[in-house]
Amino acid sequence: MKKYIFVAGGVMSGIGKGIATASIGKILKSKGFGVTAVKIDPYVNVDAGTMNPVEHGEVFVTKDGSECDQDIGNYERFLGRELTKKNYITTGKVYKAVIERERNLDYDGKCVEVVPDIPNETIKRIKRAAKEDEADFTLIEIGGTIGEYQNLLFLEAARMMKLDEPEKVLFILVSYLPTPKTIGEMKTKPTQNASRRLNEAGIQPDMILGRAEQPLDEPRKNKISNFCNVEKKYIISAPDVDSIYDIPLNFEREELGNMILDKFNMKKQDTEMKEWKKMVKASKNGGDKVSIAIVGKYFETGQFTLTDSYISVIEAVKHASWDQEISVDIDWIFAEEYEKDEEKIKELDNYDGVIIPGGFGSRGVEGKIKTINYCRENKIPFLGLCLGMQLSVIEFSRNVAGLKKANSTEFDSNCQYPVIDMMEEQKELIENSNFGGTMRLGDYKCKLKKGTKANTLYEKTDILERHRHRYEFNDKFKDTLKKSGLILSGKNPETGLVEIVELEEHPFFVGVQFHPEFKSAPLKPHPLFKEFLKTAKEH
């Protein structure tokens, strides 16, 4: 008997609906059930690949190469399982499928209508995910906020599922309770309104998770219970926490998992979260302080700095730091600052390690190359991810191999030494403006050269990592760069594409064409990040 739990958000975005969904999943999994999760994004974009990360946050990549919302990353990290493109639904995907089917006469001449055909296609996709993932429980997070026009058809899908099989469907509203400074009291009205808007869509929440700075007190619970028509015991506090990984434990303390089972008329089950508890404890142990700089560009939004674009990198650093028993401070550096002010780069002396994450386009690139140069010459541990790897090849070519005008054709299509060049199969796609979902995406194999740092830290020679790029190391420069000392320590066994570069006589200088951050989980820190932090700690 498959069960479906819909999670929708009230009042505003950014209140941790994705983490709440992932945490509920974690709890049910710890009770011995098969669990999967689906994210529904109301965007017309078919996937997240065409969205600017500053607007939408990180583009997470699954093993089968789907470009998804960052919440898919949260689900993978909490559930400890790999998800695929079926776990990510968007308005664009649903409409595209319905229109294609209509063009193929698959609706047998009937009128194809927004309702019920769009919700029906959504339901089909949800059920397919539940089936393929062999899930007892499927969590479905409806993106956006209640009251928005955009997600109404998905609420309609949820309502239809409940009507069809009431005993199998549960609704959880994650809502925000503000405590305005001038009032000094936690207010329930916005949540009451969110719950009413949900009622307008034909949905009665079964439970409400009250996100707030503090736990909800009795008067607040009474009000919400009364005005939102939800029994008081099903109003759960979800106060702010230091670490997102605390949340499943906090929910468990309120017996959320057993309440859900009870709602489904299922027997209570014990939770097994020993490993998780150990990890959460280790995350609070502190230890030596290590400072890491992340030099990037996707964090400006008006007057605010947002780090959502790099969420998997941040999490991967944290996971590895607990394993290394250190505490990490991450600083965000705008790459462009090093282009404007030559002297500023010396501030990198204050860091124990530097990461250059993935990116696109030429803005900030020269500042990142300067950063790499400084790390290489001053022996500061350096980890380059995707674009970070490509720029380390450019830096090395220019300043060690004597190819002064080396560059990537992404930034200068006519450069003298295109040490990074567009992959052959990408050229036609780009000429035809065929951008969506066409990069080299998802899992690809990499063979590591015996005796290299990469080989030592992975403790094997065959690895599988996730990718998202159009440009690659240009093999024409292989011999020149090798002669100058660049070690090509990992290659794709089928195409020979260079996947990893490293340097000797440097404590840690590694660039990878892939995104190891997507495979790191709190219970499975990634070897590259572990070794990077180990060296940073020694530094």
Nearer to ligand GLN (CB atom), residue 198 or residue 500: 500
Determine, following the binding rule CB under 6 A, whether residue 364 of this chain makes contact with ligand GLN: no
Kind of pairing between the strands at 509-512 and 498-502: antiparallel
Determine, following the binding rule CB under 6 A, whether residue 359 of this chain makes contact with ligand GLN: yes
DSSP H or E run through 371: helix 365-377
Nearer to ligand GLN (CB atom), residue 257 or residue 388: 388
Interacting span for ligand GLN (CB under 6 A) from 120-128, 176-184, 357-365, 502-510: 357-365
Q: How many residues bind ligand GLN (CB under 6 A)?
A: 11
In whole angstroms, the minimum distance from the beta carbon of 182 to ligand GLN comes to 44
| CB atoms inside a 10 Å sphere around CB 470 | 17
DSSP result, 7-38: EEEES-S-SSHHHHHHHHHHHHHHTT--EEEE
Interacting span for ligand GLN (CB under 6 A) from 13-21, 36-44, 382-390, 428-436: 382-390
Judge whether 506 counts as a catalytic residue. no
Per-residue x/- mask for ligand GLN, residues 95 to 124, rule CB under 6 A? ------------------------------
In whole angstroms, the minimum distance from the beta carbon of 363 to ligand GLN comes to 12
Given 499, 515, 526, 531, the catalytic residue: 515
Instruction: Report the distance separating Cα 399 and Cα 330, nearest Å.
Output: 28
In whole angstroms, the minimum distance from the beta carbon of 49 to ligand GLN comes to 10
Nearer to ligand GLN (CB atom), residue 176 or residue 518: 518
Nearer to ligand GLN (CB atom), residue 119 or residue 511: 511
Residue 332, burial from CB neighbour count under 10 angstroms (0-12, 13-18, 19+) = middle
Interacting span for ligand GLN (CB under 6 A) from 5-13, 139-147, 354-362, 516-524: 354-362
| CB atoms inside a 10 Å sphere around CB 247 | 23
Q: Is 228 helix (H, G, I), strand (E, B) or coil?
A: helix
Position among 387, 394, 403, 406 found at the interface with ligand GLN (CB under 6 A)? 387
In whole angstroms, the minimum distance from the beta carbon of 176 to ligand GLN comes to 33
Instruction: Supply 137's token pair.
Output: 């429980």
Query: Which residues, numbered 443-502, are part of the site for ligand GLN (CB under 6 A)?
Result: 468-471
Does residue 327 contact residue 388 with C-beta atoms inside 8 Å?
no
Given 68, 228, 375, 386, the catalytic residue: 386
Instruction: Report the distance separating Cα 359 and Cα 468, nearest Å.
Output: 10
Instruction: Supply 519's token pair.
Output: 């495979």
Instruction: Report the distance separating Cα 501 and Cα 494, nearest Å.
Output: 18
Nearer to ligand GLN (CB atom), residue 221 or residue 468: 468
Q: Any bridge partners for residue 383, and if so which?
A: 355, 510
Q: Is 68 helix (H, G, I), strand (E, B) or coil?
A: strand
Nearer to ligand GLN (CB atom), residue 221 or residue 515: 515
In whole angstroms, the minimum distance from the beta carbon of 256 to ligand GLN comes to 37
- Cα dihedral 481, 485, 486, 487, rounded to 10, equals 120
In whole angstroms, the minimum distance from the beta carbon of 293 to ligand GLN comes to 18
Triad 424, 427, 432: Cα angle to 5°: 155
Judge whether 76 counts as a catalytic residue. no
In whole angstroms, the minimum distance from the beta carbon of 496 to ligand GLN comes to 17
Judge whether 325 counts as a catalytic residue. no
Per-residue x/- mask for ligand GLN, residues 306 to 345, rule CB under 6 A? ----------------------------------------
| Residue 193: C-alpha distances to residues 49, 209, 211, 437 (Å) | 34, 15, 15, 39
DSSP result, 137-185: EEEEEE-S-TT-STTHHHHHHHHHHHHH-GGGEEEEEEEE----TTT-S
Q: Any bridge partners for residue 3, and if so which?
A: 137
In whole angstroms, the minimum distance from the beta carbon of 360 to ligand GLN comes to 4
Query: Which residues, numbered 195-234, are part of the site for ligand GLN (CB under 6 A)?
Result: none
Determine, following the binding rule CB under 6 A, whether residue 299 of this chain makes contact with ligand GLN: no
Size of the chain, expressed as the number of residues it contains: 539
Nearer to ligand GLN (CB atom), residue 160 or residue 497: 497
Nearer to ligand GLN (CB atom), residue 508 or residue 514: 514
Position among 11, 209, 354, 386 found at the interface with ligand GLN (CB under 6 A)? 386
| CB atoms inside a 10 Å sphere around CB 349 | 9
Give the residue among 397, 409, 420, 375 at the shortest CA–CA distance from 481.
397
Instruction: Supply 255's token pair.
Output: 């017996």
Query: Which residues, numbered 398-427, are part of the site for ligand GLN (CB under 6 A)?
Result: 410
Instruction: Supply 121's token pair.
Output: 């296609």
Interaction site with ligand GLN (CB under 6 A): 358-360, 386-387, 390, 410, 468-471
Active site residues: 386, 515, 517
